[in-house]
A and B are shown apart, each in its own frame.
Chain A
Amino acid sequence: MLTSHAEVLSPRSLQEALTAKASHPETVALAGGTDLMVLIEANKLAPSRVLNLWGVQELRGIDAQDGWIRLGALTTWTELIHSTLLADHAPALVEAAQTCGAAQIRNRGTLGGNLANASPAGDSLPPLLALDGVVELGSARRGLRRVPIERFFLGYRKTALERDELITAIYLPARVDGDETFFRKVGTRRAQSISKLSFCGRVRRQGGQVTLARLAFGALGPVPLRAHTVEVALEGGPVRPQLAELLLNDIRPIADVRSTAEYRQRAAVNVLRGWLESLAG
């Protein structure tokens, strides 16, 4: 029995939503509720005001715009899975969506909620990092601004989102020829498990040479991270799987209830090497 007496506002437009958030910054945004309702039920959060975003149409939809794919903040995991646009441009994000929760969670849980909740194990985070995603934030006073996903996560559960802001959309660059991507989630079982480790990689090859590498890991530390040392080492040559060993310069895995640091370290190197080997052929 959830006893919250929070006052709830259900805006019909983005403008109305942003104005409400600005005039009462303590207001807690509600998208699909799959994180928020759990927190409230467990008495970890007792908001006095809730902003129900579910009816704001401007926050929905997946469209192509000038070389970018725009995903409204309210896009659900189920919508990601069924999008033909994303199947072409961001298959790794679709795969991540398929491994997220179970049907009931995917039908309600949103991309904006996954980002704002900022769990380092959030399954959308490695794909969005590897695909050079950009988060669009809106405020009533300052309008819209865009933050590259890598600069969105500031610390454990800390994001660049200001108190008067909402996430409005996520932008992904359209896929470029020669891009190959890979997603892998390591958990206790396929469905409904929180990642021990998740990985998304992207390489672009021209004439056998890697011209761009993006390697992103989730659930290894307080924030999702990119393996910059390995990325730089990969770029400019053919795919060399042994470079996976350099990963230890980039990651310092945590130990928690789900896994030990040693396991995470070994698993991360193995997942990366396995993918690089399959690319090297």
Chain B
Amino acid sequence: MKLSFVVNGQPREAEVRPMARLLDVLREDLRLTGAKEGCGEGECGACTVLLDGQSACACLVPAVQAQGATVLTVEGLGDDPRLARLQEGFVRCGAAQCGICTPGFLMTAAELCQKGQVLSRAEVRDAVAGNLCRCTGYQKIIDAVEEALCADQPR
């Protein structure tokens, strides 16, 4: 099938099998390798992207369901000043070690930032529960997400 969708603000097209995973379309066909494959079964969140504004595991989305959709990957985050701040927060807090999980965490957090929610630390933990990290022990990631959400609130 011919897949036409908007990726990081740009209209894109690709000739793909309808049941190909969005993750493979992004990585192989569009050469956007930001979204990572950890588990390939929805458990780790390394492949998280925003699909029509909602976080989704790109390893579980067939290409046919991205037809006409809007997709945001970690490559597109920097275009939005607020989301760029989220990325800077990850750097400042030391929230990345090997970095494999980082794009996924950033995208899950991006959904929270875009919704403008005010969350307690416990709620932040719950909100990123679909993302696994084998390196950091999570504290610094939670710090960075909390900081980004607070920065969005008027003081």
Chain A interface (Cβ within 8 Å of chain B)?
1-2, 4-8, 10, 30, 32-34, 37-38, 40-42, 50, 52, 54, 78, 101-105, 107-108, 190-192
Whether A103 contacts B108 by the Cβ 8 Å rule is yes
**Chain B 65-94 near chain A by CB (<8 Å), digits 1 or 0:** 101000000000000000000000000000
Chain B interface (Cβ within 8 Å of chain A)?
1, 17-21, 24, 40-43, 45, 48, 51, 54-57, 59-62, 64-65, 67, 108, 111, 126-127, 129-131
A105 to B43, CA, bound (A): 9
Q: How far is the CB of A60 from chain B (nearest CB, A)?
A: 14
Whether B20 contacts A2 by the Cβ 8 Å rule is yes
Our pick among A1, A5, A103 for the contact of B111 (Cβ within 8 Å) is: A103
Residues of A within 8 Å of B67, CB to CB, are 10
Residues of B within 8 Å of A103, CB to CB, are 55, 108, 111, 127, 129-130
Beyond A52-B64, A54-B65, whether A101 also contacts B21 by CB under 8 A is no
Residues of B within 8 Å of A34, CB to CB, are 42, 57, 60
List 10 other contacts, CB 8 Å, given A33-B65, A50-B62.
A2-B62, A7-B18, A8-B64, A30-B65, A38-B41, A38-B42, A38-B60, A102-B131, A103-B108, A192-B130
Residues of B within 8 Å of A52, CB to CB, are 18, 62, 64-65
Whether B129 contacts A107 by the Cβ 8 Å rule is no
28 contacts between A and B (CB under 8 A): A2-B20, A4-B17, A5-B17, A6-B18, A6-B19, A8-B1, A8-B18, A8-B62, A30-B65, A32-B60, A34-B57, A34-B60, A37-B21, A37-B42, A38-B60, A41-B40, A41-B41, A52-B18, A52-B62, A54-B65, A102-B45, A104-B42, A107-B51, A107-B55, A108-B54, A108-B56, A191-B126, A191-B130
Residues of B within 8 Å of A42, CB to CB, are 41
* A-B pairs with beta carbons under 8 A, tally: 97
Closest B residue, CB atoms, query A102? B130
Q: How far is the CB of A53 from chain B (nearest CB, A)?
A: 10
Beyond A103-B55, A107-B56, A108-B60, whether A8 also contacts B127 by CB under 8 A is no
A42 to B60, CA, bound (A): 12
Q: How far is the CB of A191 from chain B (nearest CB, A)?
A: 3
Beyond A8-B62, A38-B60, A54-B65, whether A104 also contacts B41 by CB under 8 A is no
